């Protein structure tokens, strides 16, 4: 039959089902096909917190949301155009995210009484009229999958698990996505299991052709390629960009990257990613606990390497004492914190920006250190590289903040020119002459970095440890005047990192009604909101902070050009407290603590309220 073809500038798709339904895989392959179609994109994987939630319940629903288009895509979308729901629970959990008039594609075979009861539904939404405001497409995915693979030789359980490929094929057809990337991935992934490979290939093609032939799909959508800066691109997930940024730091500095961590959601994947870079000399270690992990990283820094450890909020708390040790010994250590909902176990699979105050102040004594935050999945590369560079050049531990949304999300990323990366200033102390006394705490005039001595170098023997050091000599000192001096020196060293901060870029209007100040993963939603508010005639701008400590005084100068100051955060108001304390200006908090990133429309609403 002839299909109507409709051109769109953008669309948002959400795959949702039980953890065993393969929704993350379907979403990832749809993302890959979209990257091949040269669209801009942003993704939001959404994992259940329960490890083994009962199948069919709302607690076990896994989702993958993707927004893509020919325009500049900054967020994974406020409202969903297509929801692919594999069971009633997936429909119930995600129905509120579908725009009125949007399309809902369901597995009709899953809406039996038992599944409805597990989802807590009193009636069948496919029959009770509750979906009349949407375009409902019910496809018997389970039946069609079984019929397609009746002669495959696979067990019933394996056949039913493959229905996600049928759903993916239909979705790829509906939005005119290329089929070849998914076909190639399946062929490579299951090259050693021909039975599984052939079954999935068959289902993917079957779903694609089903879209062509069924009368249920009357419209097919096309989205033109996005206009992007010339270069070589790849779709990249934040956690992989983070890993590559750390590897690049090792390559450019000539130092070994040593990464130690203890498994914790959502930071565990960084260990997995870095373990694949052994050919670049990267060393990885899974330790028995968080304290051992940072201890090993400190040891690596002492040994002349870049010591790195990764964790999430609860793990950062456990690393607190040793972070103070890294600070007082003044060794290059990077602490990566992939933030999640807290406190304690909290919302382990949901995103949040709740660890800023812990990163800033969560150590004993006066113990400032540089704190950086990545703002997009691709920006994780550059921020990780910068964190390592500052740690080495200033001989200090650095905290790098990422959150679960950035770590799991994806976007097109232009692979940078290696020569464009800032150089490292790696200088090890040289062997002292017999007549010279080695002073491990003598400092560089520019950065105040202390001298870095490799263990075992003759003449460079010195004390190391957590007791206060005497200025220059590094001997143990209990003198009050010396302690005050060393405290001031360590604080001044962090302030000198200001020399590394480029001028702030104001997005939108340079002066006007509202300035929106953000950090971390809120960047996409903030800039999308600013663009929408400006299109409505409002004078709005935004700045986004990568360096949270030290803070540039340029913030006050830019803030002075606006009437109102808004600070959106995925916490209960943390950066806003720091800004108020530092600049004594009326920054207004706008907070969301729901385990999900901001929608652009939410920030638009906050801006409009301030202007009125």
d(CA 612, CA 609): 5
Per-residue pLDDT tens for 553-610?
A: 999 999 999 999 999 999 999 999 999 999 999 999 999 999 999 999 999 999 999 9
Instruction: Please state, rounded to an integer, the average pLDDT across all residues of the chain.
Output: 96
Decide: 245 and 380 in contact? Cβ < 8 Å.
Answer: yes
Neighbouring residues of 612: CB distance < 8 A, sequence distance ≥ 6: none
Mean pLDDT of 458-483: 94
pLDDT bracket for residue 1 (50, 70, 90): low
Q: Per-residue pLDDT for 351 more than 70?
A: yes
Same fold for the pair 4-223 and 234-420: no
CA–CA–CA angle 265, 268, 274 (5° rounding): 160
DSSP letters for 394-427: HT--EEEEEEHHHHH-EEEEEPPPGGGSPPP---
Decide: 142 and 160 in contact? Cβ < 8 Å.
Answer: yes
Mean pLDDT of 263-268: 96
Neighbouring residues of 34: CB distance < 8 A, sequence distance ≥ 6: 41, 66, 68, 177, 235
pLDDT bracket for residue 612 (50, 70, 90): confident
d(CA 154, CA 412): 37
CATH architecture designation of domain 507-611: 3-Layer(aba) Sandwich (3.40)
Q: Say what the pLDDT of residue 178 is.
A: 96
Listed by start position, the domains of the chain span: 4-223, 234-420, 507-611
Per-residue pLDDT tens for 175-205?
A: 999 999 999 999 999 999 999 999 999 999 9
Q: Say what the pLDDT of residue 140 is.
A: 97
Neighbouring residues of 406: CB distance < 8 A, sequence distance ≥ 6: 238, 351, 374, 375, 376, 377, 380, 520, 521
Mean pLDDT of 333-338: 98
Q: Output 336 or 1, whichever has higher pLDDT.
A: 336
Mean pLDDT of 270-275: 98
Q: Say what the pLDDT of residue 432 is.
A: 66
**Could you tell me the fold of the domain covering 4-223?**
Pyruvate-ferredoxin Oxidoreductase; domain 3 (3.40.920)
Q: List, in sequence order, the alpha helices (H) in 20-80.
A: 23-36
Burial class, 59, CB count within 10 angstroms (exposed 0-12 / middle 13-18 / buried 19+): middle
Decide: 15 and 30 in contact? Cβ < 8 Å.
Answer: yes
Mean pLDDT of 309-322: 97
d(CA 497, CA 138): 58
Q: Say what the pLDDT of residue 263 is.
A: 97
Sheet order of strands, 283-286 included: 283-286, 257-261, 306-311, 333-339, 398-403, 371-373, 547-549
Residue/partner pairs of 419-423 with CB below 8 Å, 24 or more apart:
421/248, 421/252, 421/385, 422/385, 422/386, 422/389, 423/252
Q: Say what the pLDDT of residue 218 is.
A: 84
Residue 286 main-chain phi, psi, to 5 deg: -95, 120
> Among residues 345, 357, 343, 335, which one has the least CA distance to residue 402?
335
Per-residue pLDDT tens for 503-557?
A: 999 999 999 999 999 999 999 999 999 999 999 999 999 999 999 999 999 999 9
pLDDT bracket for residue 49 (50, 70, 90): confident
d(CA 174, CA 169): 9
Q: Per-residue pLDDT for 434 more than 70?
A: no
Q: Say what the pLDDT of residue 430 is.
A: 87
**Helix (H) / strand (E) containing 519:** strand 512-519
Per-residue pLDDT tens for 475-507?
A: 999 999 999 999 999 999 999 999 999 999 999
Per-residue pLDDT tens for 105-143?
A: 999 999 999 999 999 999 999 999 999 999 999 999 999
Decide: 104 and 81 in contact? Cβ < 8 Å.
Answer: no
pLDDT bracket for residue 51 (50, 70, 90): confident
Tokens matching residue 340? 């999640």
Per-residue pLDDT tens for 76-112?
A: 999 999 999 999 999 999 999 999 999 999 999 999 9
Mean pLDDT of 454-465: 91
Q: Say what the pLDDT of residue 54 is.
A: 87
Q: Output 218 or 197, whichever has higher pLDDT.
A: 197
pLDDT bracket for residue 435 (50, 70, 90): low
Decide: 118 and 90 in contact? Cβ < 8 Å.
Answer: no
What does CATH list as the number for 234-420? 3.40.50.970
Decide: 514 and 566 in contact? Cβ < 8 Å.
Answer: yes
């Amino acid at each position: 039959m002839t299909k109507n073809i409709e051109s769109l500038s953008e669309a948002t798709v959400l795959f949702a089902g039980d953890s065993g339904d393969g929704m993350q895989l379907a979403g990832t392959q749809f993302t890959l096909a979209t990257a091949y179609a040269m669209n801009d994109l942003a993704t939001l994987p959404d994992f259940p917190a329960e490890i083994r939630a009962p199948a069919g319940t709302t607690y076990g629903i896994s989702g993958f949301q993707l927004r893509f288009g020919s325009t500049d895509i900054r967020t994974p979308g406020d409202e969903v155009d297509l929801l692919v729901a594999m069971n009633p629970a997936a429909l119930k959990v995600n129905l509120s995210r579908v725009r009125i008039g949007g399309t809902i594609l369901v597995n009709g075979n899953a809406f039996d009484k038992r599944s409805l009861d597990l989802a807590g539904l009193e009636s069948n939404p496919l029959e009770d009229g509750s979906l009349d405001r949407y375009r409902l497409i019910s496809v018997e995915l389970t039946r069609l999958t079984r019929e397609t693979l009746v002669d495959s030789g696979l067990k019933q359980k394996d056949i039913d698990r493959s229905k996600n490929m049928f759903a993916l094929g239909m979705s790829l057809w509906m939005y005119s996505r290329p089929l070849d990337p998914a076909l190639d991935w399946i062929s490579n992934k299951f090259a050693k299991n021909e039975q599984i490979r052939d079954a999935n290939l068959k289902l993917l093609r079957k779903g694609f052709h089903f879209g062509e032939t069924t009368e249920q799909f009357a419209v097919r959508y096309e989205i033109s390629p996005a206009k992007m800066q010339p270069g070589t691109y790849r779709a990249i997930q934040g956690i992989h960009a983070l890993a590559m940024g750390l590897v690049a730091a090792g390559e450019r500095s000539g130092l070994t990257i040593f990464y130690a961590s203890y498994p914790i959601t959502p930071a565990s994947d960084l260990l997995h990613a870095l373990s694949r870079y052994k050919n670049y000399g990267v060393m990885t270690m899974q330790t028995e606990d968080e304290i051992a992990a940072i201890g090993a990283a400190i040891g690596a820094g002492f040994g002349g390497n870049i010591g790195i450890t990764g964790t999430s909020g609860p793990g950062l708390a456990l690393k607190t004492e040793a972070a103070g040790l890294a600070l007082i010994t003044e060794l290059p250590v990077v602490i990566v914190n992939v933030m999640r909902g807290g406190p304690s176990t909290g919302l382990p699979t949901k995103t949040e920006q709740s660890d800023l105050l812990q990163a800033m102040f969560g150590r004993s004594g006066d113990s400032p250190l540089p704190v950086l935050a990545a703002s997009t999945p691709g920006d994780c590369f550059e921020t990780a590289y910068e964190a390592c560079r500052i740690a080495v050049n200033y001989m200090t531990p650095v905290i790098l903040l990422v959150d679960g949304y950035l770590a799991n999300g994806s976007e097109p990323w232009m692979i940078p020119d290696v020569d464009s990366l800032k150089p490292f200033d790696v200088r090890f102390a040289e062997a002292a002459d017999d007549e010279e006394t080695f002073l491990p705490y003598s400092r560089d005039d520019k950065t105040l970095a202390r001298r870095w001595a490799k263990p075992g170098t003759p003449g460079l023997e010195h004390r190391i440890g957590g007791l206060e050091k005497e200025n220059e000599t590094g001997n143990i000192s209990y003198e009050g005047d010396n302690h005050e001096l060393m405290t001031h020196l360590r604080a001044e060293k962090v302030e000198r990192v200001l020399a590394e901060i480029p001028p702030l870029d104001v997005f939108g209007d340079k002066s006007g009604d509202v300035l929106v100040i953000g950090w971390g993963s809120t960047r996409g939603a903030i800039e999308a909101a600013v663009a929408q508010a400006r299109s409505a005639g409002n004078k709005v701008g935004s700045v986004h902070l990568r360096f949270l400590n030290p803070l540039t005084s340029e913030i006050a100068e830019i803030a002075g050009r606006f009437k109102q100051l808004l600070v959106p955060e995925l916490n209960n108001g943390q950066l806003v407290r720091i800004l108020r304390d530092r600049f004594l200006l009326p920054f207004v908090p706008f907070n969301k603590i729901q385990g999900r990133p901001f929608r652009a429309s939410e920030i638009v609403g906050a801006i409009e309220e301030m202007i009125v």
